[in-house]
Copies of this chain bind each other. A is one copy, B any other.
Amino acid sequence: MKLLKVDTIASARDKTVNILQNKLLKTECRKLLESQGYILASDIISREPVPAFHRSAVDGYAVISGDTAGSSENLPVFLECVDEIDMGSPALKEIHPGECVYVPTGGMIPPGADAVVMVEYCEAFDSSHVAVYSPVSYGKNVVLAGEDIEQGEIVIKKGTKIRPQEIGAMASLGITEAVVFKPWEITIISTGDELVPPHTTPAPGEIRDINSYSLCAQAQKHGLTVLNTVVQKDDEQKLKEAVIQAMQVSDVVIISGGSSQGKKDATNDIIDEVASEGSFIHGLALKPGKPTIAGYDENSRTLLAGLPGHPVAAMLVFELLVIWVWKHLTDQPADSSLFARITSNLAGAPGKMTCQLVKLIRQENEIHAEPVFGKSGLITTMTRADGYILIDENKEGLKKDEIVEVFYI
């Protein structure tokens, strides 16, 4: 009975990372506007300074700052306006003491000028002179060349999930394609004699299949590609055929259900049979999530993961193991989390890490985490939850008002 040799979630992650190494990582090029949500496969390094020229941060007059010293509402300084810079045009004419040049926001600052007086503090005096009513200091309202980004600077790190601001930054650098990690291609097989498709009305004893839907959506949420979802009766031969077929085209094959100790549980045997390295995880010290199996096949380079049949347990193990490994291998930083105060005492599970769903409640300047209970098969416990907390296997439990770290789900 292999289920007794269970792994902690930490050792299961280590084992999976070690066996996969970087074998399941490929990269691909994506057009900038189609790269959102993908993971950068290398650092983005600037090939040029940004901005490429000294720019004005305001609409105003580019000046030599010293010329404006001592000016005030009552005693303006008069400067000769020798040029007007159009947006997008170069400012080539150097200015000299006593001169100024009109520059719009974002416009290029002419050589010789070292500051810009906002148009609000200036007034046209005659056709060629401007009255300046306020002094400016050196560098005021000027964005220096290279002030945003220096040439050769790492602008965005490998492992970054591309957001709108990264797309904007790449556009500003002239980068129109991003090299990203190719999302794993996944097949999800949901097993069970009791499963019927969602559009049908189940007979007594039957239930609608949830896992092929929820796990598919979960993979997509994390940017992975779902090639196919299959619902399979508990027939060992047919299940094996489905797994072998999926292995030919998939990076990861997920099998949910069929991994507990019941009579028809064949997932472990199948993984041992079809995967060159056999199964290397035979249960997790995790509540819920004990009946978890993982194996690896070197020939087809496929990770095989047998998840619990319970919808909530299946989603949590998928998140804590498969998605975690994907994030780790692609150099993604740790998940964003927050700290909250737990609203009731919670018991841990001896020798097991507990994954407890919580709902976040805002109370003044604090966020409280309220445990969401439900037997693990009940999917609505997850629709009521905003995230989960982990109670360490060595911890007896949590006391009401203790600070906990909450991960979004």
Contact = CB atoms under 8 A, between A and B. Distances in A.
A174 B192 contact: no
A340 to B, nearest CB: 9
A206 interface: yes
A143 interface: yes
A409 B165 CA distance: 9
A45 interface: no
Interface in A195-214: 195, 198-211, 213-214
A363 B302 CA distance: 38
Contacts of A339: 338, 365-367
Interface in A261-298: 261-264
Nearest to A311: B168
Interface string A135-178: 00000000100011100000110000001111111111111100
A234 interface: yes
Interface in A206-227: 206-211, 213-218, 220-221
A106 interface: yes
A163 B217 contact: yes
A260 B105 CA distance: 9
Given A204-B53, A205-B107, A211 B260 contact: no
A29 to B, nearest CB: 14
A390 interface: no
B207 A104 contact: no
A21 interface: no
Q: Which 5 A-B pairs have the closest CB atoms?
A: A168-B214, A88-B194, A165-B382, A164-B217, A90-B204
22 contacts: A52-B204, A87-B264, A88-B195, A90-B203, A90-B205, A106-B192, A106-B194, A106-B207, A106-B377, A143-B377, A163-B217, A165-B315, A165-B409, A168-B214, A168-B311, A168-B382, A169-B210, A169-B380, A170-B213, A171-B209, A172-B198, A173-B208
